[in-house]
Amino acid sequence: MSYTGPSNTTSNHNAPADFAAIEHRLTSTYAYPFTLPPKQSPHDRSLSNAIASLHVHPTLEAILHMLNNDLTSAHFLCRHMQSPPAFESMLIHGVLHRIEGDYDNASAWYGNVEDSDVFRSVWPDGLASARGFIEKLKERRKQNKGTGDTASLQVESEREMKALIEFCKKEFGTEILQDGTTAWVEPSEKIREIASKQLVGGEGWRKF
């Protein structure tokens, strides 16, 4: 999908007020996230507040932030839900790293959730298929984005996002969740080690 709307606007004029309306505006105006765009800021800054004000399950809030290219806000939420049983958020975390070009960490997060319902729903052909997609993206980057089947990779990226969104909407609903912190999960020791490497170890494409 091509860009059809104003970029990086800060206007609150006619800001949608429910999940379906915000999802529709984002997906009908902007392409589904594929790789980092040249301008790494929210598509529409006014929607950042509107999304947070929905008080939906934080997994769905993170998804909307992703659609708005507000990856920082999405990461913030996922870091509170990066251990079992928060498999949906763990997969979102992997998709975030995939979008950012941090393919090794993306592959690791996919592996952490390969036996979960959400992963099997999004990637019915299993982990090998998901990691094969990541390998194709890595090869595209090696070729300096000038060659390779970018169009088919964009289609697969969109398919993954749509499947993830639909699963999470069915799993959590889009109603108000009065206290989103009830979804927070204490990170396991394994996840703490992974996070430490991402923050201070210099692993991956982007350092957090």
Amino acid letter, 13 = H
CA dist 112 and 84 (Å) reads: 9
- The pLDDT of residue 192 is 59
Residue with tokens 């390998």: 135
Rg (C-alpha) for the chain, rounded Å, is 16
Which tokens hold the place of 147?
């060659």
- The pLDDT of residue 39 is 76
Phi-psi region of 131 (alpha: psi -120 to 50; beta: other; left: phi over 0): alpha
* Contact criterion met (CB below 8 Å) for 67 and 45: no
Assigned domain for 10 exists: no
- The pLDDT of residue 143 is 84
Residue with tokens 């982007």: 206
CA dist 6 and 22 (Å) reads: 15
- Domain count along the chain: 1
Assigned domain for 103 exists: yes
Report helix, strand or coil for 63: helix
Q: Report CA 178 to chain centroid distance, whole Å.
A: 23
- The pLDDT of residue 40 is 82
- The pLDDT of residue 149 is 84
- The pLDDT of residue 142 is 86
Assigned domain for 158 exists: yes
Assigned domain for 71 exists: yes
Assigned domain for 32 exists: no
Residue with tokens 């997609």: 133
- The pLDDT of residue 6 is 38
Assigned domain for 19 exists: no
CA dist 146 and 91 (Å) reads: 29
Beta-bridged to residue 9, according to DSSP, are: 44
pLDDT tens string, the chain, 208 residues long: the values are: 333 333 444 444 566 789 999 999 999 999 999 998 877 899 999 999 999 999 999 999 999 999 999 999 999 999 999 999 999 999 999 999 999 999 999 999 999 999 999 999 999 999 999 999 999 999 998 887 655 589 999 999 999 999 999 999 999 999 999 899 999 998 766 655 665 565 434 444 343 3
Report helix, strand or coil for 74: helix
* Contact criterion met (CB below 8 Å) for 34 and 151: no
Q: What does pTM read for this prediction?
A: 0.83
CA dist 78 and 133 (Å) reads: 22
Assigned domain for 27 exists: no
**Domain enclosing residue 112, as ranges:** 40-200
Report helix, strand or coil for 106: helix
Assigned domain for 96 exists: yes
